[in-house]
Amino acid sequence: MADNAPDNWLHTLEQFVLPTWQSALGAAVALLVGAILLHRRRRQSNILAWMFFIFAFPLAGTAAFLVFGLRKHQKTVALKRRINCIAGIMTREDDDGSAGIADSAVTGPVRPLLGNSVTLLDDDAGTATWRALRDEIAAARESIHITTYMLGRDDVGRALVEQLAARAREGVAVRLLVDALGSLSAKWGFCRPLVAAGGQVRRFMPLLPFQWRGPTNLRNHRKIALFDGRRAIIGGQNLAERYIGPTPHAGRFRDFSALVSGPAVAELTRVFLSDWCFAGGEHPERYEKQLRFNPEPTGGVRMAIVSGGPDEPGDPLWEQFLTLIQECRKELVIVTPYLVPDEVIFRLLLAKLRAGRRVRLIMPAHSDHPFLDLARRPYLRTLHRAGATVLLYNRGMLHGKMFLVDGGVGVIGSANLDMRSLFVNFEVAGFIYSPNTIRRLRLLANDIAGGCIPYGESHLAPRHLRNRFLEAVAHLAGPLL
């Protein structure tokens, strides 16, 4: 009997003590995390999702929270906001009243700037953006500033690096900022020709421990290309073969961008240079000339640039989308690859439908993130039942992002209608207040809708029993995505 005593103790420990200890640890950490998130005024759905995950899986949940859960890392936020503030001060108009971007450089209500021109870059094959990007790189005389989430280690990425290197050798200041996670496959060696030619390459929020500057969750999802501080390309297309290219590609995503010129480009310059300085630990005073430069008017489009991310007070993009939905009087058109909205936007959409407003949602039948497809199903089902027109693009992956409200406001940029884009990622969007440009955006939305099938005819309409559990899990995890 005595010989079996150690085994009995081990059995008792495994059966009773360890599970109790793990449960107690999970409960304690879950309560601590809940208190932290309440202090930071996070939304109830996000708090409850994290607390449930940590209680159920104490060790894995705690590790995930430390890496992914801290949406506004205080040190990162403080540094980035300081850079934004200095850059914003530099881009205010001079005391003599000269034209400039004025207070639009600082955080606050959207103030559209008159004098811009906007050319949509759209086609099924993704060649329009490729041609515009190559042409603008070739035409630049002073500077080329590009930020992208994904630089592909493919023919498209290689051709762009080679062209940028050629321009750097000709004396053009070339700065390329890529997200460390999104461009993980494009190692330093891939960009070496550009660096050797005199260009500069930086990685936003490197992943290596000795380079760590904040939670891995904080990613730069912006797509901006600036040329001489006068012209810019913004949108949702990454610099990879799946998004753009010289010839059609069977697996290319349906997406679009816009070529912008005029005063709004100054704000895009500020956004880029604040990110650039943060990534390199530089002071923005080094770029005072670029920050103070105000492009001359080139057209009649009223446009505002809104950036969102952990460096911004509040959540500017979420707040602006919320305002647009609230002010909708007739019709709201949303084109997005992923639909995992927060509770406030979701309930507001339902309220608009019940008030008789038309809501049209256009998204891919199958996205490149199957888990997000599961998470969106309860939202789509509820919105469809409330009267929304839900259209599912079935000619490949739809990656474009667009917001249209009553024919009076149009939004394009890098932000998806999910909680990661609205509350976690560094994003940027152009808010357009020009009827002619908005009409072109509406025609683009109608063209995309032509490749869609109605929700009622799709595989999503029936709610099969085998999918209920997976939907519930994905929906519960939605606030963490």
User: Which DSSP string do the residues of 388-439 spell out, in sequence order?
Assistant: -EEEEE-SS-B---EEEETTTEEEEES--EEHHHHHTSBEEEEEE--HHHHH
Homologous superfamily of 316-480: Endonuclease Chain A (3.30.870.10)
Hey, do 74-303 and 316-480 end up sharing a CATH topology, with the first three levels equal? yes
For residue 322, is pLDDT > 60?
yes
pLDDT score, position 50: 54
Structure confidence by residue, pLDDT tens digits, 446-455: 999 999 999 9
Structure confidence by residue, pLDDT tens digits, 32-54: 554 555 445 455 555 555 555 55
Of the pLDDT bands very low, low, confident and very high (cuts 50, 70, 90), residue 265 is very high
pLDDT score, position 195: 97
Structure confidence by residue, pLDDT tens digits, 391-417: 999 999 999 999 999 989 999 999 999
pLDDT score, position 52: 55
For residue 303, is pLDDT > 60?
yes
Measured CA to CA, the distance from residue 238 to residue 296 in angstroms comes to: 28
Q: Considering only 236-240, 286-290, 395-399, which range has the smallest mean pLDDT?
A: 286-290
pLDDT score, position 284: 86
Structure confidence by residue, pLDDT tens digits, 431-446: 999 999 999 999 999 9
The mean pLDDT value of the chain amounts to 82
| Range among 64-68, 145-149, 289-293, 377-381 with highest mean pLDDT value | 145-149
Mean pLDDT over residues 451-474, rounded? 72
Mean pLDDT over residues 235-244, rounded? 96
Mean pLDDT over residues 357-371, rounded? 94
Of the candidates 169, 167, 148, the residue with the CA atom closest to the CA atom of residue 157:
148
For residue 460, is pLDDT > 80?
no
Measured CA to CA, the distance from residue 417 to residue 429 in angstroms comes to: 12
E strand or H helix at 2:
none
Mean pLDDT over residues 312-338, rounded? 93
Measured CA to CA, the distance from residue 249 to residue 240 in angstroms comes to: 11
Partners of 306 in the β-ladder: 429
Structure confidence by residue, pLDDT tens digits, 88-133: 777 654 433 333 333 333 334 577 899 999 999 998 889 999 999 9
Measured CA to CA, the distance from residue 89 to residue 284 in angstroms comes to: 11
pLDDT score, position 216: 61
Domain range list for the chain: 18-69, 74-303, 316-480
74-303 is a CATH 3.30.870.10 domain: yes
Q: Considering only 41-55, 183-197, 259-273, which range has the smallest mean pLDDT?
A: 41-55
